[in-house]
Amino acid sequence: MGDVTQPSAMPARHEGARDAANGGTGSAADNSIFVADLDKTYDTRDGTVDAVRSATFDVKDGEFVSLVGPSGCGKSTILQICAGLVAPTRGKVDVGGVQARPGRREVGIMFQAPVLLPWRTVSDNVLLPTEIFKMEKKPARKRALELLELVGLSGFEDKHPWELSGGMQQRASLARVLVADPNILLMDEPFSALDEFTRERLNLELAKIHESFGRTVLYVTHNIEEAVFLSDRVVVMKPHPGEILEIVETGLPRPRKLEVLQEAGTLELVIKIRQMLFGHHGGPEEEA
Amino acid sequence: MAGDIGTVPAPPPQELRGGLRSRLSGDSWLAVVVPPVITTMVVLLIWEYLSQSGTVDEIILPAPTAIVDAMGQLVGESFFWEATWVTTQEAVIGFAAGVLVAWVLGTLIGLFQGFSLAVYPPVIAFQIMPRVALAPVFLTWFGFGITSKIVMAATICFFPVLVNTILGIQGVSKDARALMRSLGASRWEEYRKVLLPASLPAIFASLKVAVALALIGAIVAEFLGASEGMGVLLREFSFQLQIAESFAVLVALSLLGLVLYGLAALLESRLIFWRGR
């Protein structure tokens, strides 16, 4: 798997198709996410649980924002609400200029598990969204193959998912989320199940993809370093109830390089966020 | 399979061994096949001895060689093949009908909570009832012909397919369903593209059980009242104390069951290539 192809060789985006996919609601240029006073409570046998309490933040057009925090801080819940998979209890969640709902071409979601269908080949898995969105077959197939090349899976298009390693499966999943050419990516700990080396590499490639296409990304992780490395801003959250503690601007230069992780400024940011989450000694006290 | 053939007594002559090897893909295959064959041979030899020596009356327990003779005679008789054809039809048509109904019902139960609440409890009550006891009722309803046997076969093979269809659909990963929902897939698309294929391994696993059950259903129904079929042959031979012929039909029945099972297994391995992934 070579390095990510340079921007010039990347698949062209379908500008016209994207405007049409906006469905007339909201302006085509609005690729931001706007969350205001969001509450999410769950009713359980032991009473109501505040999964998210009065969360307010935004992700600007083309910005990369991470939600970071320990288990139970509500970060995944916020992402699922943005994807329209979970309904908010209170508050406003606008994604791409309209209220969050599922089934939009301009919004792509990626899960922690690759969720590849074992009876489909890798390329047919990548093509799944294009079938649901009723996109034209031939160009879709061409684009799927280009994306598989972009994520370093050329030659694997006719394999089945179980013939791929965990990292390669998640690459295929990345190609799938990109195939319908969404402007907004929602990513729920997409690489957290992978080993350290694979994850670092995929993070670097994700940063490059983000930088060359300028997509808006909302990224959920419990890994502070990862959040700092990838993001323009990091939304730091605490659990029970899930609340936003602070929103930290990283100010790191783009394009991101792995060396950034060793720089003093980066380490300072990581330590600062750790201290917000875990107190002065900067170590987790009771991480679930 | 360690490829250990140390337990095989006399290795076959060199040239034969080479031929066998190339056809049976090596020693591991032999290690699987040889032990059960030896067990069977030993049992048959004891059986033969008991019968030939008169320890057990030949009318009660005919010798394996006598059974083979009886089989040799039966395969030359057209009535034997007609009976086999009738029973095969009953089992296969009953199987197809039972599987179809179970699959449709199981799918609806798996997909729709309300339908499940209304339909599943009575279905389970029906399963708990000994359905073989329904055979006389079916005979009254559907007559002496092939129909009552088909219905019996379908009734008996229905349940495992139903249960596996439900489990197959309910066992589909939450992530896969969330993915389809996030894409805005319709319920039909979700079913066609995810739930149906994802539930196929469980359904096909149950087909092997169901095909054997269908044969049981057909035979039991034939015992109770029929004019043709292998069950009828079995009954008549037994009444006439032609036990060797009875055993011959029994062997033929086992072979028929084996063929049907093999076909179901073949279909499964061809269609469900991703099983267990």
Model pTM? 0.78
pLDDT (tens digit per residue) in A24-33: 444 456 899 9
Chain B residues in contact with A84 by the CB 8 A cut-off are 182
* DSSP states of A143-203: HHHHHHHHTT-TT-TTS-GGGS-HHHHHHHHHHHHHHT--SEEEEESTTTTS-HHHHHHHH
Chain B residues in contact with A129 by the CB 8 A cut-off are 183
Give the lowest-confidence range in A10-19, A87-96, A272-281, B74-83. Answer: A10-19
Task: Tell me how far apart the alpha carbons of residues B44 and B40 are, in angstroms, rounded to a whole number.
Answer: 6
What distances in angstroms separate CA B261 from CA A260, B89, B255, one per listed residue? 62, 15, 10
Interface confidence (ipTM) of the complex: 0.81
Task: Tell me how far apart the alpha carbons of residues B207 and B96 are, in angstroms, rounded to a whole number.
Answer: 10
Q: Is B263 on the interface with A (CB under 8 A)?
A: no
Q: Is A182 on the interface with B (CB under 8 A)?
A: no
User: What domains does chain B contain, in order, with CATH numbers?
Assistant: 1-53 (no CATH), 72-271 (1.10.3720.10)
Q: For position A132, what pLDDT does the model report?
A: 94
pLDDT (tens digit per residue) in B84-109: 999 999 999 999 999 999 999 999 99
Closest of A213, A277, A270, A262 to residue A64, by C-alpha: A213
Chain A residues in contact with B202 by the CB 8 A cut-off are none
Q: Is A117 on the interface with B (CB under 8 A)?
A: yes
Q: Where does residue B153 rank: exposed (0-12), middle (13-18), buried (19+ CB within 10 A)?
A: buried
Share of chain B above pLDDT 70, in %: 90
Q: For position B126, what pLDDT does the model report?
A: 86
- How many interface pairs between A and B have CB atoms less than 8 angstroms apart? 54
Task: Please provide the average confidence, as pLDDT, over all residues in chain B.
Answer: 87
Task: Tell me how far apart the alpha carbons of residues B155 and B234 are, in angstroms, rounded to a whole number.
Answer: 22
